[in-house]
Amino acid sequence: MSGRGMEEARRRDGGDPLARFRGRFHIPPGTLYMDGNSLGLASEDALASLERAAASWRDLGIRGWLEAKPDWFTYGERLGAKMAPLVGAFPDEVVLVGSTTANLHSLAATFYRPQGTRRRILADELNFPSDLYALASQVRLHGGDPERDLILARSADGRTLDEEALIALMDDTVALAVFPSVLYRSGQLLDLRRLAEAAHRRGIVIGFDCAHSAGAVPHRLHDDDADFAFWCTYKHLNGGPGSPAGLFLHRRHFGREPGLAGWFGTVKERQFDLAVDFEHQPSAGGWQMGTPCILSAAALDGALDLFAEAGMESVRAKSLELTGFLLDQAEARLTPLGFRAGTPREPERRGGHVALEHPEGWRICCALKARGIVPDFRPPQVVRLAPVALYTTFEEVERTVAALEEIVRNRKYEAFSAARAAVS
């Protein structure tokens, strides 16, 4: 099976229309990198853009706010316009600012307005915990009790969510719903349009955490009628550690007052009037707060150029091929060894990473890293693998499966401690 798998991998690599992009990324020497869903790799484009911004700081000083190419003053809005086609939004509906959790706080502070019996926030137990921490704190800020006012939809299998079950919880006590687009453990892709339509029929504002889909899955946030969305840019988008996060706000909400105001959200032409009264920019840019991190934004600027060149539909097509090939190989070679795929097989329900479950998941990850293969681990037993369309080859997927097969068959994982590291 391994020989046939390698033969098929090389055949697919030979016909890969995105193969030319791999050479523009810095692959750590001696490494087979399968962790792009946690931190994407550095590209020549991102580093060159970062160097240009650093040179502008060196040569222009404060004049860089208006005289740098591109200028720093409108960086968040400009990057938002550049990002917008990847998530199916109008240019003024997206801004790149802050962090994922900060953007959730900003948006929840805008839209969570508990009144009467409609006081609850609907989320789910499989969402990334940071979102739940933020939502619970928003409930407390409004005098509520998260035990009562933050509803967590349950999963029937501990891996996936059923949209119909989520919709069943959308009653007249719910003021706000927030769900992930792709579940961070299993890689399940939810039907955003279906959820948004159901929420709006019931008078509920709905937003989505797209951290595990942006850059791997093309979205249609405007047409799917999401009220808002937010995401990080250091995973599939390869923006670099701490790169600014994305914030989407549907145009119909531009007239709302931002729940958390700051001077960078002021109407741009009057920002330096330093008026006491706040007037927000009538776009997603109005939800900026503090001064943007220019050097981090610059790296993302270069990274986004690759997506404009490759095309998001092509990225998605290869991503599905890579994850499909990985699931096929895993089913044939790893299932007999005690692995279980936690990721849906249907392409329309799958994001950009694959979850392989095994009782010895943590020690298996350690054994992979010792061989120069970089996965990540999510408790209780998930080995997450993210073959990234712009730089992962099918041969690397096959080599990863072969390594997993050998590690478990020969119990090589037993050489590693069961104690988890601080960062897994």
For residue 365, what is the domain's CATH number? 3.90.1150.10
| Whether 128 is catalytic | yes
Residues 65 and 193 in one domain: yes
Would residue 198 count as lying in a domain? yes
Q: In terms of domains, do 268 and 233 share one?
A: yes
Strand segments (E) across 186-298:
205-209, 228-231, 246-249
The CATH number linked to 87 is: 3.40.640.10
Please state, in angstroms and as integers, the Cα–Cα distance from residue 273 to each residue in 89, 268, 287, 392, 416, following that order. Answer: 31, 10, 19, 49, 61
Is residue 235 annotated as a catalytic residue, yes or no? yes
- pLDDT of res. 222: 98
384, 394, 399, 412: the catalytic one is 384
Question: In this structure, are 141 and 221 located in the same domain?
Answer: yes
Q: Which of 375, 373, 326 is closest to 347 using CA atoms?
A: 326
Question: Do residue 284 and residue 334 come from a single domain?
Answer: no
Q: Is 391 a catalytic residue?
A: no
88 is in which domain, residue-wise? Answer: 50-308
In a domain, 424, yes or no: no
Examine residue 332 and state whether it is found in any structural domain, yes or no.
yes
Residue 101 annotated as part of some ligand binding site: yes
Amino acid making up residue 194: R
Active-site residue 268, yes or no?
Answer: no
For residues 167 and 224, membership in a common domain is answered with yes
Which one of 274, 308, 342 terminates a domain? Answer: 308
Closest by CA to 107, choosing from 40, 27, 176, 183, is 176
Residue 209 annotated in ligand binding: yes
Instruction: Give the CA angle between residues 224, 229, 235 to the nearest 5°.
Output: 115
For residue 173, is it within any domain?
yes
Helix (H, G, I), strand (E, B) or coil at 19: helix
Q: Could you tell me what percentage of the chain is helix, strand and coil, using 3-state DSSP and rounding each to the nearest 5? A: 45, 15, 40
Q: Is residue 38 part of a domain?
A: no
State the Cα–Cα distance between residues 336 and 318, nearest whole angstrom: 27
Say yes or no: 149 and 55 in one domain: yes
Catalytic status, residue 234: yes
Residue 290 and residue 392 in one domain: no
Residue 223 annotated as binding?
A: no
Residue 291 is assigned to a ligand binding site: yes
Asked whether residue 161 falls in the same domain as residue 276, the answer is yes
- Is 129 annotated in a binding site? The answer is yes
Yes or no: say if 224 and 200 are a contact pair by the CB < 8 Å rule.
no
Residue tagged active-site, from 82, 120, 235, 318: 235
Q: CA–CA separation, 411 vs 168, rounded Å?
A: 45
Could you tell me the CA-to-CA distances from 201 to 126, 195, 197 in Å, in that order? 25, 10, 6
98, amino acid identity: G
Task: Please check whether residues 303 and 403 belong to one and the same domain.
Answer: no
Whether 423 is in a domain gets the answer: no
Cα 87 to Cα 70, 244, 301: the distances in Å are 23, 16, 16
Whether the CB-CB separation of 169 and 122 falls below 8 Å is answered with yes
Q: Which of 209, 224, 301, 376 is catalytic?
A: 209
- Coil, strand or helix: which one is 43? strand
Alpha helices in 153-289, H assignment, sequence order: 163-168, 192-201
Q: Tell me the average confidence (pLDDT) per consecutive run of 10 residues in the chain, 424 residues long.
A: 83 97 97 97 98 98 96 97 98 97 98 96 97 98 97 97 98 98 97 98 98 98 98 98 97 97 95 93 97 96 98 98 98 97 97 98 97 95 97 98 98 93 72
Give me the pLDDT at residue 2, please: 60
Residue 397, H or E segment: helix 394-409
Torsional class of 411: left (φ above 0), alpha (ψ -120 to 50), beta (otherwise): left
User: Rg (Cα) of the chain, in Å, rounded?
Assistant: 22
Residues 269 and 332 in one domain: no
Q: Is residue 353 part of a domain?
A: yes
Residues 304 and 315 in one domain: no
Domain count, the chain: 2
- Asked whether residue 422 is assigned to any structural domain, the reply reads no
Domain boundary among 308, 327, 346: 308
Beta bridge partners of 123: 152
Alpha-helical (H) ranges within 202-293 are: none
Which residues, at least 6 apart from 61, have a Cβ–Cβ distance to it below 8 Å? none
Q: Where a domain ends, among 288, 308, 328?
A: 308
- Specify whether 17 is located in the same domain as 151: no
From 179, 234, 264, 325, the catalytic residue: 234
